[in-house]
Amino acid sequence: MIKQIEFTLPAYSRGYHLITNVVLGILKELPESGFLHLFIKHTSAGLSINENADTSVRVDFETIMNRIVPENAPGYLHNMEGSDDMPAHVKSSIIGSSVSIPITDHRLNMGTWQGIYLCEFRNYGGPRKMVATIYY
């Protein structure tokens, strides 16, 4: 069976944000077993699974990604929406637009220190549309 829920996250500031509890609050109940697939419907934000305890990891992600894909680099053509526009698209492709997580005993079967990140690459990205699909 498949259950699909579309929802919108509120606007987050630029950076890496733990949204595990937000997603679980929207989904409410998980089946005994299966998979959760999350997809973000945007080209300037991404989803990842990573460290859920030490906030410095999220700060370091921002620092590293800005070094890899700097703003205001010469040669960008797509910059009508600002200096963060093209870098946001590249970062989104690097990080990805979806994650899949096993469900076991009605819980997300992640490691102790893992959480779901919303990776917001725009200075003013706004609300983000998501699709959660549960396969069970």
Residue pLDDT, tens place only, 70-97: 999 999 999 889 999 999 999 999 999 9
Q: Which helix or strand (DSSP H or E) is residue 87 part of? A: helix 85-95
Please report the domains of the chain, with CATH numbers, ordered by start residue.
2-135 (2.60.120.460)
pLDDT in tens, 22-74: 999 999 999 999 999 999 999 999 999 999 999 999 999 999 999 999 999 99
Contact status, residue 35 vs residue 57, Cβ threshold 8 Å = no
- As to burial, measured by CB atoms within 10 angstroms (0-12 exposed, 13-18 middle, 19+ buried), residue 105 is exposed
**Residue 19 binned pLDDT confidence (cut-offs 50, 70, 90):** very high
Within 10 angstroms of residue 93's Cβ, the number of other Cβ atoms is 12
Predicted structure pTM score? 0.96
Residue 1 DSSP one-character state:
-
Lowest mean pLDDT among 2-16, 70-84, 106-120: 70-84
